[in-house]
Every structure is written in C-alpha cells, then in structure tokens.
Amino acid sequence: MGIRDFPPGVNVPPRIPGIQKDTRPGSRSMPGGGSGWSGAPAPGGGGGGGLGGGASYSPPWEVKPPGGHDFQLFGTLTGAAVATTPALVAPATTGTFLIPSANVGIIRSVVFLVNNILTTSSVLFSILYNRGGVEGWNQVPVLPRLASSVGSAYGPDETFLEVPENTAITVEIRVTDAAAYQVSMLAHGWFYPKEIHEAFTAGYPG
C-alpha cells in the first residue's frame, strides 16, 4: 500500500510548515537534514517534563514527547442496522475524546474491523472533529466481499491528523444495509502541551 497523507481536518494545515517527511527506512524529518534537533527553547513543560536545553528530541507529532499522554478511541457495533437508506441511518456506536485546553492532539493510527462481511455489505467508518467530518476520514468504506473477518489498518506512514485544543474527537460506525455484523474501529494518538508544539514549529523554517 502506498503512502497516503490524509489532510488532518477542518481549518488545520496538513503539515507543519517547512516539514518535508522523509519516508526512507531509518530517516527522520529534521531541519537541515540533521539526525537530531536541539533548536527549540526550553519551555516550562506544562503537564509534564519540558524540553531541556541542548537536548535533541524528535518532533512531538512523530514521537510522543515529555509531558505527552496517549489516548485511544474505540467504537463497536454488533447486530443489524435499523434502516437500509443511508440518509436515514443515525450515527451508530461511537467513542469520543476531548483534547484538553493548552494541548495539541495527534492521531497516528486507525484500524477498521468487520466480522461476517458480505458481498452486499455497506459499512462506513468516520473520524469527526466536534461532530464535523474530517476530510479523507469521513464515511470511509470497506470493500464488500465474502469473508469471516476483514481488517484495514492505517499506520503512522498513512495517518497524520492534528487536533486543536478543546476539540472533541469521535470515531463513528454506520451500517447502511440490513445485515448483522460485528464492527469495530480504533484510533490511537497522543496529546501534549501546546508550548512544546510551538517551540518545535518555531524552529522549522516556514
């Protein structure tokens, strides 16, 4: 599967300005091609340890930084849909997580799973910000076919969604046909103090 950089959503740039991601094995996206970076000032580390002066850190949207906290969103649905017209189907089972104030969120992996899928199946997965669809991740289908279990995993090379502070992230599952399935969706990421984010972005040329 090729690299796919999905836009991260409403009013959020798809990449921090100046970052060109190097996808070669073992490489890292660093300004000037260096193997590390100590150009960020040493913020106070709100919510956890800060960036020490002179220390080298990976960008906090690639590796969870000091003061960062993991989150996982999980939604599941078991049973038949209540309607067969997509416009009439209410949002199915969801999971929601709120990015706290003074923090920045990042989602780096997403997994879809459908058991007992059919050639006529219509199952849609979404990530929402404050109940609004995220471009590239809104009502994503799974290819219908006859199988006992089908999964789609999107790892860090395919998933890059920045999440602003005070944003509620929701994972949503919709089944728009009348069959019964076991359907699950998982999104993983972390949030970290905004001052760390700002310190790093200030060090990258625009």
For 158-199, the pLDDT digits (tens) are: 999 999 999 999 998 888 887 888 889 999 999 999 999 998
Using CA atoms, how far apart are residues 161 and 189, in angstroms rounded to an integer?
9
Whole-prediction pTM: 0.69
What is the pLDDT at residue 13?
35
Token readout for 183 is 């359907």
What is the pLDDT at residue 76?
83
Tens digit of each residue's pLDDT (9 = 90 or more) over 83-119:
444 444 455 657 789 999 999 999 999 999 999 999 9
Look at residues 45, 19, 41, 44 and name the one whose alpha carbon lies nearest to residue 32.
19
What is the pLDDT at residue 125?
92
What is the pLDDT at residue 91?
54
The ranges assigned to domains in the chain are 1-206
What is the pLDDT at residue 92?
63
| Cβ neighbours for 19, distance < 8 A, ≥ 6 positions apart | 29, 59, 204
Q: Which helix (H) or strand (E) holds 114?
A: strand 103-117
Using CA atoms, how far apart are residues 27 and 196, in angstroms rounded to an integer?
22
Question: Is pLDDT at 206 greater than 70 in this prediction?
Answer: no
Say which range, 6-10, 30-34, 139-143, 197-201, has the weakest mean pLDDT.
30-34
The residue that leads in pLDDT, 122 or 191, is 191
Rounded to a whole number of angstroms, the distance between the first and last alpha carbons of the chain is 30
Say which range, 29-43, 47-61, 78-92, has the weakest mean pLDDT.
29-43
Question: Is pLDDT at 3 greater than 50 in this prediction?
Answer: no
What is the pLDDT at residue 59?
93
Using CA atoms, how far apart are residues 31 and 49, in angstroms rounded to an integer?
24
Nearest 5 degrees, angle CA 135-CA 136-CA 137? 90
Question: Is pLDDT at 42 greater than 50 in this prediction?
Answer: no
Question: Is pLDDT at 148 greater than 50 in this prediction?
Answer: yes
The arithmetic mean of pLDDT across residues 138-151, rounded, is 94
Using CA atoms, how far apart are residues 148 and 117, in angstroms rounded to an integer?
6
